[in-house]
Amino acid sequence: MRALRPLLCCIAFVLSSTPALAQYNKVAGENAPMERVRQAVKRADGTQEVREVVRPAARDGFGNAGGSQNDLAVDGAFEGQTVAVLQFYTQDFNFSLPKAALKEKGFSVYRWVGKAPDPKELRKGLQKACQLWIISDSTRRLTPEHVKVIKEFFDAGHGVYIWGDNEPYYADANVVGEALLGTTMQGNLMGDQTVGLRKDEAGPGLLRRHLLTTGLEYLYEGITIATLQPSPQLTPLLHGSAGNLVAAFHDNNGKRAIFDGGFTRLYNKWDTAGTARYVKNAAAWLTNVERFGDAVVRADLRTPPAQKP
């Protein structure tokens, strides 16, 4: 019995330290969710009975499962959490569409628009945020001190989404990408296509069976896009129609980030395949509930306190 005690203690620790996942829908990680419905079935003798049938969820006009129940997170799961945004590219882009999508999951949005705040103000603002999105422009706005603040935020486990686009609209994306992930993006390829699920490791399409691609079988890639340079710190997420790597993510040692060369998805052809769902999934994933647990989810979704014996 004594020999079993260390093992039992380890099991108890693992169970007690696993965060509740009530903020996620049941379909989390499934690209093509199924649904259970009750329907009348005719027997051989002509009578009817009601049976539960499992079938593919109803699709929208682009082939993705419809309904917010097929997003990664349940609606309102992150009430009280803030997505901070450094938005440097602003032409015909006021962030209203992503903001509305994020609101469905409970997120509020705070933006610095057109220029970076003082590094001290940035640090203060990030203390109230669960994640930071950086939308680059063609000229650099961030100083080394800004990058230091962002790296501190990232190293503390808070999610960072780094958005660039076709050359030259990746000035700060490359600065932050190099500092956090050891890589950059480059080039200018025509995209403007919808891609499906990836059939092989290097082919066009989305990564299969990941939280970020929950409910997604098709995704619009953006108009003109940059290509990410390979990095051992990144896992490919989206290859464009030309086979180039458009988006990838980092998920290691409790730290999460996404590096993306197609920010036009955030405002151009928004209503095409999968964009709103992808934005909501990305924010939910970057909140990093697996690390922060109850501190970042709505009160009624938190783990109930353990009952005392």
pLDDT digits (tens, 9 = 90+) for 259-304: 999 999 999 999 999 999 999 999 999 999 999 999 999 989 988 7
What is the structure's pLDDT at 3? 45
Q: Which of 72, 77, 244 is nearest to 166 (CA)?
A: 244
pLDDT of residue 309: 59
pLDDT of 4 above 80:
no
246: pLDDT strictly greater than 50: yes
- Predicted local confidence at residue 106, as pLDDT: 98
Give yes or no for residue 5 having a pLDDT over 90.
no
Does the pTM surpass 0.85? The reply is yes
Q: How does pLDDT run across 59-108, given as a tens digit for each residue?
A: 999 999 999 999 999 999 999 999 999 999 999 999 999 999 999 999 99
pLDDT at 71: 98
Give the domain ranges of the chain: 69-295
The pLDDT confidence band at residue 211, using thresholds 50, 70 and 90, is very high
CATH number corresponding to 69-295: 3.40.50.880
Note the pLDDT tens digit of each residue in 124-165.
999 999 999 999 999 999 999 999 999 999 999 999 999 999
Whether 236 shows a pLDDT value over 70: the answer reads yes
What is the pLDDT, as a whole number, of residue 308? Answer: 53
pLDDT at position 37 is 80
Q: What is residue 307's predicted lDDT score, i.e. its pLDDT?
A: 56
pLDDT at 51: 80
* 168 exposure class (CB count in 10 Å sphere: 0-12, 13-18, 19+): middle
User: What confidence tens digit (pLDDT) does each residue in 9-66 have?
Assistant: 443 333 333 334 799 999 999 999 998 888 787 888 888 888 887 888 999 999 999 9
- What pLDDT sits at residue 306? 60
pLDDT at position 200 over 90: no
